[in-house]
Structure 1
Amino acid sequence: MQQNKWVKLAVMLPLIAVFIWSLNIAVTRYVADYISPVSISFYRWLVAFIVLTPVMLPKVWQQRQLVALHWRQFAILSAFGMLLYQGLAYSAAHYTTATNMGIINAFIPIFTIFVSIIILKEVPNRFAVMGSLVSFLGLLYVIAQGQLQALLHLGGHWGDLLMIIAVFFYAFYGVFLKKWQLKVPLMISLYVQIGFSLIYHLPFVLWLGIDRLDMQNTASVLYAGLFASLIAPWVWMLAVERLGPNRTSIFMNLMPIFTAILAYFWLHEAWTMHHTIGGIIIITGIVMAQIKARQVQSETIESTSMINK
């Protein structure tokens, strides 16, 4: 009886993590009017780096030989996961809705399957192929707002295209994690990747400039740097430890739903019939694709969700 009670409480852990990441998507859309993509991306990782440094810097120094051995992998992971994914997501927020961003973000497992073909030479099974096609049709339906002929006007979907590219880069991040399987503590890996991310941001900051923090954007920066970058990954790791990767990974499918609800009540974004129909199609395809691919996903889910969302 006591064990069942703790299992029920553990179920709250992935729900909390997914809620934090979903809220971060809404925050990203909200703050787009008050701070540039380069600025919030740089500030986000700077906040996380400052908070982690007192604890992690001594540990990194102790493990410096291990870190030096894998510095190239850390640099690549940081480029794909923190610079390209997050940077493009912040840029996409200027041109699309949080609802659409949440729906497109759910495509990470689908894109991961196809990136695995390129990097890992893994041949997808028929469920993965059919599920991917179904999900892609659902995504097109959402982007076109139920009118597929509207896809011909690509200018009106610039933000959605940026978000699709961002999610595609994040799929590379997950596949690289599986390919390399670095024997490095997760928090050390996260800290070093954040450090590389700050270095990557410097040329953009020097070239484009950086916005000042003020009353309108500071709270959003702190939320992204503390909750989305540190607290949510920590809670997610606890969930993986207590529930296992398979059970935990299922909760990721709630992100589009949480994001849509938050965007509806906070940002006053409309949830329309094309969102409902397209969302059902997308989730159906994702479930189909994971029927045989769940074991592959479970091997990387603990690390893949470290930096998001």
Structure 2
Amino acid sequence: MAVMDRVRTVPQEALPGKAKKAAAGLGILLALLATVVWSGSFVATRGMADSIPPVQAVFWRWVIATVAVAPFAARQAWQQRALIRRHFGYIALATLFGVTLYNTLVHQAGLTTSASNMGMIMAASPVIMALYARLGGERLGARRTFGLALAALGVLLLVGKGSIRFDFAAGDLWMFGAALSFATYSALLKRKSAELGGLAFLLTTFVLGALMLAPAYAVSVGVQGGFRVTPSTAGMLLYVGVFSSAVAFFAWNKAVAMIGAARAGVVYYLQPVCVAGLGLLLLGETTGPTQLLCMALILGGVGLGARR
């Protein structure tokens, strides 16, 4: 990660042709890495739902992520401590949406909905990213607007079990909140100062995220009690802490910096397919005709919505 962090992020328009293609290719590969790893995270989250209370799982996720990334990021974070203090308000806001809220909502959703549903609802988050772009003055056009509407229809059919009705499972509603939170985080990444190193930013958000969750963690332990550490729970926590947090967030942040949230979001659309496959293999979750139709609508809609 340290080697990758030394790659300068410059506007692609300022790069020569070959360098521009290489930067775009690397950005797409990083977005794909994050997407595949996060797909496994939904399966792990669903798998630990019955054994670890959500807030406790998320708290330990960020403690583990902090330990994992600190050897690579501590030096840069110390060198940039003045920059971190200067941009602390922005970093805290990004932490709130991308670290604290997003992951807590995902773990809460895992209690009452399937990993496949979680992945498909999250696939609609690029729709929200596009809406943020529109609020920022970007024109969507008829094709992109139609794509957004198509993806929204797919999500409504999915949570309505084949019909458009507002009879959502609690987990589906939690996932809508998670999708909104992740889209907000991705939009905020566009405002990150180019001076602030990616590893320093990552470590700071992980530490802040754990601190923000500490009071809720204490309440959860007091009310619900702790959880039993087994090889299974430890393995899942290590996966979401090291890979889904340290590795995937670094890759996603770098991808958004290199190719933008909209283009990174196109790769993110592959997530429902990855989650459905992993859910079938690891959890025995089946994907029926209705879910396949909804997946096609969501993927087709967001694909159109991302095109310029």
* 1:106-125 correspondence to structure 2 within 5 Å: 106-118=123-135, 120-125=136-141
> Match of 2:204?
192
The match for 2:273 is: 257
Change (3 A) 1:116 1:211: farther
| 1:140 counterpart SS class | helix
Give, as a single letter, the amino acid of the residue that structure 2 aligns with 1:291. Answer: R
In structure 2, C-alpha distance between the alignment counterparts of 1:244 and 1:114, rounded to whole Å: 18
1:53 aligned to which of 39, 51, 70: 70
Cα distance, 1:203 vs structure 2: 1.2
Cα deviation, residue 122, structure 1: 3.8
Return the match for 1:214 from 213, 220, 229: 229
For the 8 Å contact 2:190–2:256, the answer to whether it is kept is no
Is structure 2 residue 86 aligned with structure 1 residue 69? yes
1:132 to 2:132 alignment: no
Matched, 1:172 2:184: yes
Tell me which amino acid in the other structure corresponds to 2:83.
Answer: L
Residues 166 and 214 from structure 1, CA distance in 2 versus in 1: closer, same or farther, beyond 3 angstroms? same
Spell out, residue by residue over 1:134-170, the C-alpha distance to the aligned partner (whole angstroms, 9 max, x if none): 110011111112133xx3434xx11111101111111
Secondary structure of 1:217's partner? helix
Aligned-partner SS, 2:304? helix
The count of aligned residue pairs is 280
**In the alignment, which of 228, 242, 249 is matched to residue 226 of structure 1?**
242
Of the three residues 162, 182, 206, the one matched with 2:174 is: 162
Deviation of 1:77 after TM superposition, in Å, equals 0.3
So what's the TM-score if we normalise by structure 2?
0.82
The residue aligned with 1:304 is none
In 2, Cα distance between equivalents of 1:240 and 1:152: 33
Counterpart Cα distance in 1 of 2:111 and 2:160: 18
CA distance in 2, matches of 1:29, 1:282: 22
Q: One-letter code of the match for 1:153?
A: D
The amino acid across from 1:134 in the alignment is L
1:205 paired residue number: 217
What one-letter code is carried by the residue in structure 2 that aligns with 1:137? L
How big is the shift at 1:84? 0.8
Identity of aligned residues (%): 26
Q: Which runs of 5+ in 1 are unaligned?
A: 1-5, 293-309
The SS at the match of 1:284 is helix
User: C-alpha separation between the residues in 2 aligned to 1:85 and 1:194?
Assistant: 13
Q: Quote the residue 1:37 is aligned against.
A: 54
Q: Give 2:245's aligned amino acid.
A: S
Among 39, 45, 49, the alignment partner of 1:22 is: 39
Which of 80, 89, 92 is equivalent to 2:109?
92
> Matched residue of 1:281: which SS?
helix
Deviation at 1:183, TM superposition (A): 2.9
Give the whole-Å Cα distance in 2 for the aligned partners of 1:196 and 1:229: 14
Gaps of 5+ in 2: 1-21
* Residue in structure 2 matching 1:153, options 167, 182, 191: 167
CA RMSD, aligned part only? 2.6
Q: How far apart are residue 190 of structure 1 and its match?
A: 0.8
Whole-angstrom CA distance in 2 between matches of 1:171 and 1:239: 15
1:197–1:238 distance in 2 versus 1, CA, 3 Å? closer
Q: Which amino acid aligns with 2:105?
A: L
Corresponding position of 2:14: none
- What code does the residue aligned with 1:214 have? V
